[in-house]
Amino acid sequence: MSYLAILRVASRALLRNRMRSFLTTLGIIIGVAAVIAMVAIGEGAKARVEQSFSAMGTSLLIVMSGSTTAGGARGGFGSMPTLTWDDLRAIQTEIPVVHLAAPTLRSVAQVVNEDQNWSTSITGTTPEYFEIRSWNMAKGAAFTQSDVDGGTKVAVLGQTVVDRVFGPHADPVGQVVRIRNIPFQVVAVMEKKGQSPNGQDYDDAVIMPVSTFQTKIQGGLQKFLNGAIMISAVSPDATDKAENEVTDLLRDRHHIQPGADDDFSIRNLTEIASAQQEGTRTLTLLLSSIAAVSLLVGGIGIMNIMLVSVTERTREIGLRMAVGAKPKDILSQFLVEALTLSVAGGLFGVALGVGVAQYLGNQFDWPMLIRPGIVLLSVGFSAFVGIAFGLYPARKASLLDPIEALRYE
């Protein structure tokens, strides 16, 4: 018999018991749908982590001041200024794998525009900050080094501040806001970045030249840098090397003896992002493995139904053999039936899984990434399950004795 004829015979046999065929494929449908949905959720979580950390900046290191111990009272990192402006210049000039470095001095102040006001984070920094953070301007142009040198009273606003102080869709570039009762001209509005992994609103911020920040917002500590240093390595692969070289440089500059604790700390956001992605990948693998068990359960269901089908159709098998059907024809027919059930279940499962993933994405505002490779793998695995679990019933049918089969009641 040709494969087309075998397929027709198998299809007719399955359609004679539509409800039983559907219930048989249900395990495969649920298994494939669960795998597709779980992988989509995991890939979406991974994309969300990547999006959050890319919003912070690429190849990013944050150097913070050290801790204090005075009179038995201990303070954490940042409680005592240990970084100096000379440290910043040394990092910028003496470490080749450091691409850019910028100071970040922070405070909180009220931003006022006519009858509107908003309390927000004020950051004093240099133009390199925007490149380190990969932060482009939506409107206007950021301040320049000449603004830093001249202590110009200019400010760059985040979109949240614009919405609160000027109103949605407003263009504040060229207008004046008051910070600590001092007028600042708005020169640019930053593109929206959204939230950090811990829920901080990146767009709720005002950025100004570091010199202006020190003279108008919060006084400096002479040679000490009352804040942190943001560093961008020349490439993501060079981030660890940059961290080690910055550590060695600062230990040497601060005359820290071998074995003694650092009086500063360095946060490597690349390592944090990698750790979170690894955790997400592990969770996705666990959920997918649990979902894949449903495929095996569905395969057992196919084997069970096919064995029942062989028993029910024993006389039919004997009659077909009596009129010339060969054992391989019987084997092929039952294998095709099992394969048809599993592949049909796989295709329905893909449709259901994609629908569930999209529904969850819309409900929870979560990105869902459905990769074609996972879809093909799920359908292929369901086909493998059909063949693997359908082989025994098919072989049992092909080995029946025609005479005994015809006598079967």
> Residues 13, 100: one domain?
no
Rg of the Cα atoms in the chain: 34
pTM above 0.85, yes or no: no
Domain containing 279 equals 3-52+275-407
> Which residue, 234, 262, 290, sits at the end of a domain?
262
> Which residue, 212, 236, 262, sits at the end of a domain?
262
Which H or E run includes 205?
strand 205-209
Q: How far apart are CA 395 and CA 166, in angstroms?
A: 77
Provide the pLDDT for residue 71: 42
> Residues 93, 240: one domain?
yes
> Residues 255, 279: one domain?
no
Q: How far apart are CA 346 and CA 398, in angstroms?
A: 27
Sign of the CA dihedral with 393 first, then 394, 396, and 400 last: positive
Establish if 75 belongs to a structural domain.
Answer: no
Q: What are phi and psi of 229, to 5 degrees?
A: -120, 125
Establish if 60 belongs to a structural domain.
Answer: no
> Residues 258, 289: one domain?
no
Q: How far apart are CA 397 and CA 96, in angstroms?
A: 74
C-alpha dihedral (235, 241, 244, 247), degrees to nearest 10: -30
Establish if 66 belongs to a structural domain.
Answer: no
Token digits for 17?
């018991």
Establish if 267 belongs to a structural domain.
Answer: no
> Which residue, 262, 284, 319, sits at the end of a domain?
262
**DSSP letter string over 311-370?**
HHTHHHHHHHHHTT--HHHHHHHHHHHHHHHHHHHHHHHHHHHHHHHHHHHHHHT-----
> Residues 279, 255: one domain?
no
> Residues 240, 280: one domain?
no
Domains in the chain: how many in total? 2
Mean pLDDT by 10 residues, the chain (409 residues): 63 73 80 81 69 63 71 48 91 93 94 92 95 91 95 95 92 94 95 77 93 89 87 86 92 90 83 60 69 72 76 74 77 80 85 85 72 79 80 78 65
